[in-house]
Structure 1
């Protein structure tokens, strides 16, 4: 999966030290990221690549994390027209870009960019928020409100019936491939209850024998994904929730129309079942 970058080492401790000329600069505009494609894969600019034309980057930055000791920083406003040979690319590039550790760093940086962007003002009193000096937290000097990065829990569900697995396609989304039933955890709800509720809401089926598989940070949607397998309990007739799904159908193990990819927990769970490992 995208976060599995060994032997590279990701360290997310908040260490707000100033950047140097070799520090990596992540710059985002909405759903785009500044980078360049090379024969070796994607490459992010370093401060020395941008500093001559954008001297303010040494004043307007936020420390993010490190990978293999290289420090990554989020930039504030820069002149994107003075970035050649770097260009703004859609963040979806991180699903397929190499090297994988840079793709993981890029999408993780994007999640933090989104959080900082959305928390410039206090949700309690409306005053400006300020970065804490000791931890990754925004605080309001007027009312004392403290805000930490948002991580939304969600479940991925492999519904099994003997040699079959239930697969679906989302309605109204750019992503058109087969996926598994999924949904966000609601307030006051156990994960196992989320599994039962989402399956019933989306396809009208009951399930039993719910068992945890593994988890994945998924920065594309600011989510921590938790994978579960479960067994069909009763009738297999599907009642589709058309606002959520374009289709849902059962596939025998040998007929599953999915090939392995590196990025997602969903793909790994499908392939594990297809290969007879579940």
Structure 2
């Protein structure tokens, strides 16, 4: 999965040390990131690469994290017209770009970019929020409100019936490949209850034997995904929620039309079942 970057080491402790010339500068505009593609894979500019584009770049930055001791920062307001080697690319590039640790750094930085962008002002009193010096937190000097990064828990659900698995396609989304059922955890329910509720709401089926598989940070949607398998309980007739899903179908293990990919928990769960590793 995208976060599996060993032997590289990801360190997310908040240590806002000033950047140096060789520190990595991540620059985003909406759904695009500044980067370049080389024979070795994707690269991001360093502060040394872009310091001529903004004289205040070493004063106006946001520390993000480190990988193998290399520090990553958010930067803003640079003049891209004068930056010929680098171009803006859609953040979907991170799903398959190499090297994988840089793709993971890019999408994780993008999640934090969105959080900072959407939390400039206090939601309680409207005052400007300030960065804390000791932890990744924004605080309001006026009303003392504190804001931490948003992480939404969600479930990925492999519904099984013997040698069959239920797969679906989303309605109204750009992603058109087969996926598993999924849904966000609501206030006041356990994740196991989320599994049962989402299956009933999306396909009208009852399930039992809900069992946890694995989790994954999914920065494309500010989410931590929790994968579960469960067994059909009763009738297998699907009643489709057409607002959420374009289709849902049962597939025999040896007829699953999905191939391995490295990025998602969903794909790994499907392939585990397809290869007979999950019964």
**TM class, shorter-chain normalised?**
over 0.9
Shift of 1:58: 1.0
Query: For 1:98, what is the secondary structure of its paired residue?
Result: coil
**Deviation above 6 Å: which 4+ runs of structure 1?**
none
- Give the 5 Å matches for 1:122-161: 122-161=122-161
* CA distance in structure 1 between the partners assigned to 2:59 and 2:77 by the alignment: 11
Alignment correspondent of 1:78? 78
Q: Does the CA-based 8 Å contact 2:53-2:78 persist in structure 1?
A: no
Shift of 1:82: 2.0
Shift of 1:57: 1.2
Q: Deviations over 1:102-149 (max 9, x none)?
A: 000000000000000000000000110000011000000000000000
Alignment correspondent of 2:254? 254
Alignment correspondent of 1:8? 8
* CA distance in structure 2 between the partners assigned to 1:27 and 1:2 by the alignment: 20
Q: Does the CA-based 8 Å contact 2:54-2:77 persist in structure 1?
A: no
* CA distance in structure 2 between the partners assigned to 1:145 and 1:53 by the alignment: 35
- Give the 5 Å matches for 1:186-197: 186-197=186-197
Alignment correspondent of 1:173? 173
Alignment correspondent of 2:108? 108
* CA distance in structure 2 between the partners assigned to 1:7 and 1:98 by the alignment: 15
Q: Which moved more, 1:194-203 or 1:70-79?
A: 70-79
TM-score of the superposition, structure 2-length normalised? 0.99
* CA distance in structure 1 between the partners assigned to 2:62 and 2:56 by the alignment: 13
- Give the 5 Å matches for 1:1-278: 1-278=1-278
* CA distance in structure 2 between the partners assigned to 1:34 and 1:82 by the alignment: 13
* CA distance in structure 1 between the partners assigned to 2:22 and 2:33 by the alignment: 19
TM-score of the superposition, structure 1-length normalised? 0.99
Shift of 1:248: 0.2
* CA distance in structure 1 between the partners assigned to 2:182 and 2:54 by the alignment: 43
* CA distance in structure 2 between the partners assigned to 1:237 and 1:115 by the alignment: 41
Query: For 1:258, what is the secondary structure of its paired residue?
Result: coil
Q: Deviations over 1:177-211 (max 9, x none)?
A: 00000000000110000000000000000000000
* CA distance in structure 2 between the partners assigned to 1:220 and 1:32 by the alignment: 12
* CA distance in structure 2 between the partners assigned to 1:208 and 1:52 by the alignment: 60
**Alpha-carbon RMSD:** 0.5
What is the count of residue pairs matched by the alignment?
Answer: 278
Q: Which moved more, 1:98-107 or 1:70-79?
A: 70-79
* CA distance in structure 2 between the partners assigned to 1:260 and 1:92 by the alignment: 18
* CA distance in structure 1 between the partners assigned to 2:227 and 2:13 by the alignment: 26
Q: Deviations over 1:44-76 (max 9, x none)?
A: 000000012322211110000000000000002
Shift of 1:80: 2.1
Query: For 1:215, what is the secondary structure of its paired residue?
Result: strand
Shift of 1:276: 0.2
